[in-house]
Amino acid sequence: MHYIWKEWKENIKGKGLWLSFGIIILVSVGLLFKSFTLSFDQGFYVLLINLFDAFVYFLPLLCLFLGAFSIFQEKEQKTLIMLLTRRDSFTSFLFKKSLAVHSMLIVPIFLWFFVYLIPAKFFFQVDLKSYFAFLVSIICIIVVYTQIGLLIGSISRSRMQIVGFTIGIWFYFFFIHDFILMSFLPDISYENVKLFSAVYFLNPIQAARMFLESSLGVYSFDHMSKLLKSFMWLKPGVFLLANGSILLVVSFIIAIIFHRKEGSE
């Protein structure tokens, strides 16, 4: 709790958090305005998909930066050294810090989307189950990318390194991961499709998207071919959970192994 309060107080003084919330609010309000013309029945689903599509462009980047700078600030202000010398191991520190950063991001976003539901209810037939699925997919993306951001902050020694790592990782998940998989597409057969699918769903954006679209009922898994059935060998929710867990644990472990206690700036 102490860490969460400290994180909150530190971040409300900075511009990063407010900028992120500002962008999220503006984008969601803008899309709500734009969706007024949609039909009462389907408009809500269109809105949720549009929101997701818009968020995946900037939310990972914001979370990566917020997570990274949150750790780096501890290095800059020498509070990391102080905390570690006093009583904490880096593992314990990172765990508490991760919880604090996640809470600081998730709680206000969750609250905002609770408020957001009110105007949405006036214009669309709101489906709470679908809305919850949307929140889960967005929160998964936030958690995963923030944790990767914390990894970047842990291993970086300068702000330039943070910028480089962040853009590199964002670029990888946004473009390169799928691009590499696309180049393997002609060689995919029944024998290797499960492996291909496992790697495909390692991209949080794809895993969250598939979970969202199937939960909304817009992406149908009826009448699948044999190949696609093999590809979807787990439910989308399980893929998302597995993806989240793997990336969280791996980021955490790498951060512990390769962390640096001091920044050069």
Partner 1 sequence: MRMSIRLLFLLSLIVIFIPSKGLASENLQAIIDSADDGAVIQLENKTYEGNIVINKQIEIIGDKKTVIKGDGTGNVVSIRSPYVTIRNLTVTNSSLDRNSSEEYAAIKVYTDHNVIDSVIIKHFFHGIYLSQAHFNTVQNSEITGLGKGQIANQGNGLHVYYANDNILKNNVIEGTRDGMFFDYANRNQMNNNRISETRYGLHYMYSDHNAFEGNTFTFNTGGAAIMHSRGIKLENNQFIFNYGHKSFGLLLLSAIDTVIEENTFFLNQRGLYIDQSTNSLIKNNQIIKNQIGVELWASSNEQNFTLNTIDENTLPAVTLGGQGRNEWSVDQKGNNWGKTFPVLDLNQDGIGDQPISYQSSLYELIEDQELTYLFLKSPAVAVYEKLNQFFNKNETMFEDPFPLVKNDHPSIHWIWYVLASLLILTVISIKGRHQLCIIFGKNGRKT
Pick one of 194, 219, 254, 256: the residue that binds partner 1 (CB under 8 A).
Answer: 219
Residues of span 221-260 touching partner 1 by CB under 8 A: 221-225, 227-228, 231
**16 touching partner 1, by CB under 8 A:** no
CA distances from 117 to 18, 24, 211, 216, 220 (A): 21, 14, 21, 16, 26
**42 touching partner 1, by CB under 8 A:** yes
For 83, counting Cβ atoms within 10 Å of its Cβ (0-12 exposed, 13-18 middle, 19+ buried), the class is middle
Stretch that binds partner 1, among 15-23, 72-80, 82-90, 137-145 (CB under 8 A): 15-23
Q: Residue 227: helix, strand or coil by DSSP?
A: helix
Structure tokens belonging to residue 178? 């799928």
In single-letter form, the type of residue at position 152 comes to I
Structure tokens belonging to residue 235? 């439910």
CB 157 → partner 1: shortest distance, Å? 26
CA distances from 18 to 89, 92, 152 (A): 31, 28, 21
Q: What is the DSSP string of 92-123?
A: HHHHHHHHHHHHHHHHHHHHHHHHHHHHHHHH
In single-letter form, the type of residue at position 41 comes to D
What distance in Å separates the CA atoms of residue 233 and residue 244, rounded to the nearest whole number?
17
**179 touching partner 1, by CB under 8 A:** yes
**75 touching partner 1, by CB under 8 A:** no
**181 touching partner 1, by CB under 8 A:** yes
**46 touching partner 1, by CB under 8 A:** yes
CB 19 → partner 1: shortest distance, Å? 8
> Residue 24 or 255: which CB sits closer to partner 1?
24
**188 touching partner 1, by CB under 8 A:** yes
Site size with partner 1, rule: CB under 8 A = 52
Which of 205, 189, 193 is CA-nearest to residue 232? 193
Sites of contact with partner 1 (CB under 8 A): 8-10, 12-13, 15, 18-19, 22, 25-26, 29-30, 33-34, 39, 41-42, 45-46, 49, 53, 174-179, 181-182, 185-186, 188, 193, 196, 200, 205-206, 209, 213, 217-225, 227-228, 231
